[in-house]
């Protein structure tokens, strides 16, 4: 990047996960907690990280150190599935997936044909991500290329690493929200040329889900992925039982829901499938064999009554999992709240989700799911300097609970259970403060 980003030096308590794991029992060994640490960034990257004691000699005396003695600093949260045009319809009452789409979602998304409206909501959306400590997201736009331009422009203004794409949808939706196999292909191609790899922006080919694309459209999507192998594929999979039955009716020749995507060349190391609540055995195997990733969206799965995501099964199958808010079926932009619900989804299945595993999914594990773990997810020197300063005591109740915390694991767990956007003191993107809480 040609723009120069100033050097930043941050002193405080740092917590991150050092390496990717394939077994959740190994996460504890990868936890790095530095009570009095120093992080130096230069040109948006982490230049030095370690203890304050060791780091002082590294510091240029002219650089002012930003000191957060009471807070906890973690890598920026990564949201692996969210819809920016659904920001305004979060919390829509009463329906499950297919009725919810027809009743609330499609009428809302029609408005994004208007570039000014797209810009207005894109600006709000990006601010809301930062206010919640989310520094990277994989985002659905609408079928309109205008919505993609608006979002990438808003993300570029904040130097965020964002992945997004235009929805492909050529059937089973209102006319005003559909493209065709050919126009969807061409518009996506133009957007890839315009945005993919420009600054920190990355493009995702985004068929909404199998029921709203004809076989011809999925074929063209696969062709596009073959032409641009380093772009992403982002879609929904196996979220709701009626949806799955519908896919089986629409694609009788395919072995199952995932096989529809796999058949058209849409699985792979940069393919992210939201939900995967009801996968069958062969589908788990295919997810593993193709190195495809899942976005686990607990608040959405509970809100739409879709089901309980089997996280343990994903670990056993060796499938990458990131955390998704899935706004507007999900009910919060905040990854602490999302982890709170993720914990309860596991409890309902007799499983435990530890604080450190939670941190893993929200940071390094999310980066791995997006195939960006060489650039994001922890404080390794050379990675991009995206991080969050967490206030542990944003309310009287939190203060009381945290004063009784046994150790850093308990501290983070209590934060997950009680925390929300009030706990985000500051969000740093590419080494610079992109959000600072007003009352902080």
List interacting residues with ligand GUN (CB under 6 A): 83, 97, 101, 105, 208-209, 236, 239, 300, 326, 329
Q: Are 135 and 383 in contact (CB under 8 A)?
A: no
The candidate with the shortest Cα–Cα distance to 350, out of 298, 296, 313, 321, is 313
- For ligand GUN, the closer of residues 75 and 298 by Cβ is 298
- For ligand GUN, the closer of residues 238 and 411 by Cβ is 238
- For ligand GUN, the closer of residues 128 and 239 by Cβ is 239
Q: What does the alpha-carbon distance between residue 360 and residue 378 come to, in Å, rounded to a whole number?
A: 10
CB of 300 to ligand GUN, least distance (A): 5
- For ligand GUN, the closer of residues 237 and 376 by Cβ is 237
- For Zn ion, the closer of residues 154 and 274 by Cβ is 274
> Which of Zn ion, ligand GUN, none does 158 bind, CB closer than 5 to 8 A by kind?
none
243 binding Zn ion? (CB under 5 A): no
CA torsion through residues 372, 377, 383, 388, sign: positive
Q: What does the alpha-carbon distance between residue 409 and residue 72 come to, in Å, rounded to a whole number?
A: 12
Show the site string, 265-294: x = touches Zn ion by CB under 5 A, - = not: ---------x--------------------
Neighbouring CB atoms inside 10 A of 6's CB total: 11
CB of 332 to ligand GUN, least distance (A): 14
Angle 408-418/335-347 helices, nearest 10 degrees? Answer: 100
- Which SS3 state, helix, strand or coil, does residue 146 take? helix
Q: What does the alpha-carbon distance between residue 254 and residue 271 come to, in Å, rounded to a whole number?
A: 19
The candidate with the shortest Cα–Cα distance to 227, out of 250, 198, 203, 252, is 203
Per CB under 5 A, the segment of 106-114, 313-321, 323-331, 361-369 that binds Zn ion is 323-331
CB of 90 to Zn ion, least distance (A): 12
- For ligand GUN, the closer of residues 97 and 143 by Cβ is 97
Show the site string, 79-98: x = touches Zn ion by CB under 5 A, - = not: --------------------
- Three-state SS letters, 267-291: CCCCEEEEECCCCCHHHHHHHHHCC
Q: What does the alpha-carbon distance between residue 253 and residue 431 come to, in Å, rounded to a whole number?
A: 51
Q: What does the alpha-carbon distance between residue 80 and residue 297 come to, in Å, rounded to a whole number?
A: 9
Residue keyed to tokens 């709170």: 340
Q: Which residues lie below 8 Å from residue 101, measured CB to CB, with a gap of 6+?
A: none
CB of 328 to Zn ion, least distance (A): 9
> Which of ligand GUN, Zn ion, none does 208 bind, CB closer than 5 to 8 A by kind?
ligand GUN
Residue nearest to Zn ion (CB): 326
Per CB under 5 A, the segment of 46-54, 95-103, 325-333, 343-351 that binds Zn ion is 325-333
- Footprint (CB under 5 A) of Zn ion, residues 373-392: none
Cα angle 416, 419, 422 (rounded to 5 degrees) comes to: 150
> Which of ligand GUN, Zn ion, none does 234 bind, CB closer than 5 to 8 A by kind?
none
Among 170, 243, 326, 391, indicate the residue that binds Zn ion (CB under 5 A).
Answer: 326
**Interface with Zn ion by CB under 5 A: which residues?**
274, 326
């Amino acid at each position: 990047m040609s723009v120069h980003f100033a050097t930043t030096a941050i002193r405080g308590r740092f917590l991150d996960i050092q390496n990717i794991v394939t077994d959740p029992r190994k996460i504890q060994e990868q936890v790095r907690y530095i009570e009095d640490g120093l992080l130096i960034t230069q040109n948006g990257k982490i230049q030095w990280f370690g203890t304050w004691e060791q780091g002082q000699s590294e510091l240029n005396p002219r650089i002012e150190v930003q000191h957060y003695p009471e807070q906890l600093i973690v890598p920026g949260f990564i949201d692996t599935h969210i819809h920016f045009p659904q920001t305004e319809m979060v919390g829509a009452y009463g329906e499950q997936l297919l009725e919810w789409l027809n009743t609330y979602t499609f009428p809302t998304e029609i408005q994004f044909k208007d570039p000014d409206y797209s810009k207005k909501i894109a600006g709000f959306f990006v601010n809301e991500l930062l206010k919640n400590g989310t520094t990277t997201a994989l985002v659905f736009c609408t079928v309109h290329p205008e919505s993609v331009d608006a979002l990438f422009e808003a993300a570029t203004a904040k130097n965020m690493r964002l992945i997004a794409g235009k929805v492909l949808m050529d059937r089973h939706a209102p006319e005003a929200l559909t493209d065709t196999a050919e126009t969807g292909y061409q518009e996506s191609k133009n957007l890839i040329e315009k945005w993919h790899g420009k600054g920190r922006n990355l493009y995702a080919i985004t068929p909404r889900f199998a029921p709203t694309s004809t076989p011809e459209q999925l074929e063209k999507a696969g062709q596009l992925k073959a032409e641009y192998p380093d772009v992403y594929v982002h879609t929904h999979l196996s979220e709701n039982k009626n949806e799955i039955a519908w896919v089986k009716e629409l694609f009788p020749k395919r072995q199952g829901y995932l096989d529809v995507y796999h058949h058209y060349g849409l699985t792979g190391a940069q393919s992210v499938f939201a939900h995967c609540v009801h996968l069958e055995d062969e589908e788990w195997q295919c997810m593993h064999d193709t190195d495809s990733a899942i976005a686990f969206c607990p608040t959405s799965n509970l809100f739409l009554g879709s089901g309980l995501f089997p996280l343990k099964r994903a670990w056993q199958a060796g499938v990458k999992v990131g955390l998704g808010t899935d706004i507007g079926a999900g009910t919060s932009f905040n990854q602490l709240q999302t982890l709170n619900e993720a914990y309860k989804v596991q409890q309902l299945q007799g499983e435990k989700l530890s604080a450190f595993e939670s941190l893993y999914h929200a940071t390094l594990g999310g980066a791995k799911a997006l195939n960006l773990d060489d650039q994001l997810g922890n404080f390794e020197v050379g990675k991009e300097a995206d991080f969050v300063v967490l206030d542990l005591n944003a309310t009287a109740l939190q203060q009381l609970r945290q004063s009784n915390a046994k150790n850093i694991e308990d501290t983070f767990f209590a934060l997950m259970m009680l925390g929300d956007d009030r706990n985000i003191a500051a969000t740093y993107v590419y080494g610079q403060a992109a959000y600072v809480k007003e009352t902080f």
